[in-house]
Each structure stands twice: as structure tokens, then as C-alpha cells.
Amino acid sequence: MVNNFIKRAITGVLFVAILVGCILYGAFSFGILFTAISALAIYEFGQLVNMRAEGVQINKAINMLGGAYLFLAIMGFCIDAADSKIFIPYVLLLLYMMISELYLKKENPVLNWAYSMFSQLYIGLPFALLNVLAFHNDPEYSSISYNPILPLSIFIFLWLNDTGAYCIGSLIGKHRLFERISPKKSWEGSIGGGVVAIGVAFILAHYFPVMSMPEWAGLALVVVIFGTWGDLTESLLKRQLHVKDSGTILPGHGGMLDRFDSSLMAIPAAVVYLYTLTWF
């Protein structure tokens, strides 16, 4: 047990250090990191469904390529390095996924289509949308600038929410949040984790006034709510496939999907929230 704790602690520290360091260092390291994470998470998803879903055999390499390309395409579009034509190869890749199943004579082509498209929607798109948070148009200088604070804040809110929910839930958690899918989560823990995240949002608002204090608090609330749904979604997926962890790439922490499950819903929700703010 001690060895497992040490392994988890070392992996956790390295994971956070690499993630934070690459986001803060610059646009290039941000792009490299999340292109790799997107591809690895899709590979892990492909491994899971190919081994555990009856009759399913998706092309992991093509799906990984799709997720990686989508991230880079949206990045290129966000920084004005390319126009909308950059998405044409991605559309062709999706068409290939569909058409190839007509000729491969696999056991269940319809499920292969479904899981392949799901990998792009569930994993590829959310990671790609991080670019929308990271790159901003500066009207004063008519240029695009990289701002690491918003994408980093999503992970800060999720980590603090998880930590707060675990600590408070362990102490006073009695009422199950979603017992059918995740028996250990409690309403008390979830509310406590949300309060911790919102509290930190006020600190971020003080040091990074890119948004007002209520807007920062609203972002934290959106991330906490949708992050919880993201966690439950992956738990449901793992239950359906009868696995405990999505992979073993992170010793003591499971796989990429286990580490980023909450963010897969929190990131799109944060993008929608921030766009909504511009309408008022």
C-alpha cells in the first residue's frame, strides 16, 4: 500500500508539472502536449472498445490521426494560420471511416462507425476546443495572442473540485449523488468541491482580471457541474465495458481517460459559457 501511494504521488506530481509547465511555457508546447494527449486518449479508447465491446474492431491509427489533426486544424484556424479549408482533410478522413467499413467485411460495421465517430466527438473535439480558450483576438493590435490562463483554469477548477469533493465527502458524505454509476460520490462532497473551486475563482479574478469576479465564479460553477457529468459519463462507459481503469499509462492513476474524463465535458461547456458572456 505504501509503495502504491508513493507511485501515485510521484505520477501525480509529474503529471501536474508537465501539464502546467507545457501550458504556461507557450503556444508551441501547449499544442504539442494536447495533440499527443488527444491521440493517446483516442488510442486508449480504441483499445478498450476493441477488447471489451462485442464485435467491435475500430481502426485505432485512423482515429488517432483524426483527433490529432482536428486539434491542429482548430489551432491553425484560431491563430489565423489557415482558413476554413484546413478542415477539408478532416472531413475526408471521416468519410474514409464510413466508406472503408463497406469493404473491410468486419463483424459489426455499424458499431465500428458508431464508436469511431464517438471517439472524435467525445475525445477529439473537447481537446481541440482548448484552442478556443487559449487563443484570443487582440483588437488593439489586430493580432492573435496566446493566453494560458483560461485553459489552465479549467484544470485548476477540476483538480480542486476533485480534491475538495474527496476530502469533504470522506468526512461528512452521506447522501449518494449517483449511486447507480458511482457509489462513492456524495452530494456533500460535490457541493464542497464546488465551493472550493468557486473560492479559488475569486483569487484568480483578483490576479487575472480578464473577466469580472462573477464571471470567474460562473466559469468555475460551469466547470464543476459539467466536470462531474464528465466523470460520471466515463464511469458509465467503464461499467458498460466492465473495466476498472481505462488504461495503465499513468502508474497508480489508470489511463488518460481516467485523468481527463471530467475535462471532456467541462471544456466544451466552458467554451459555450464564455461565448454566452459575449452576447450580453
Residue 235: how many other CB atoms lie within 10 Å: 18
Evaluated on CA atoms 219, 222, 225, 226, the torsion sign reads negative
Q: Which of the four pLDDT bands, split at 50, 70 and 90, describes residue 47?
A: very high
* Continuous H helices in 135-212: 149-172, 187-207
Q: Which of the four pLDDT bands, split at 50, 70 and 90, describes residue 245?
A: confident
What mean pLDDT is predicted for residues 35-64? Answer: 95
User: Which phi and psi angles does 189 have, rounded to 5°?
Assistant: -65, -45
Per-residue pLDDT, 142: 63
Which of 233, 221, 219 is CA-nearest to residue 265? 233
Which of 34, 31, 90 is CA-nearest to residue 62? 90
Which of 59, 6, 28, 37 is CA-nearest to residue 267? 37
pLDDT for residue 64 is more than 90: yes
- What pTM did the predictor assign? 0.93
Q: What tens digit of pLDDT does each residue of 247-277 get?
A: 777 776 678 999 999 999 999 999 999 999 9
Instruction: Retrieve residue 177's grid coordinates.
Output: 449523488
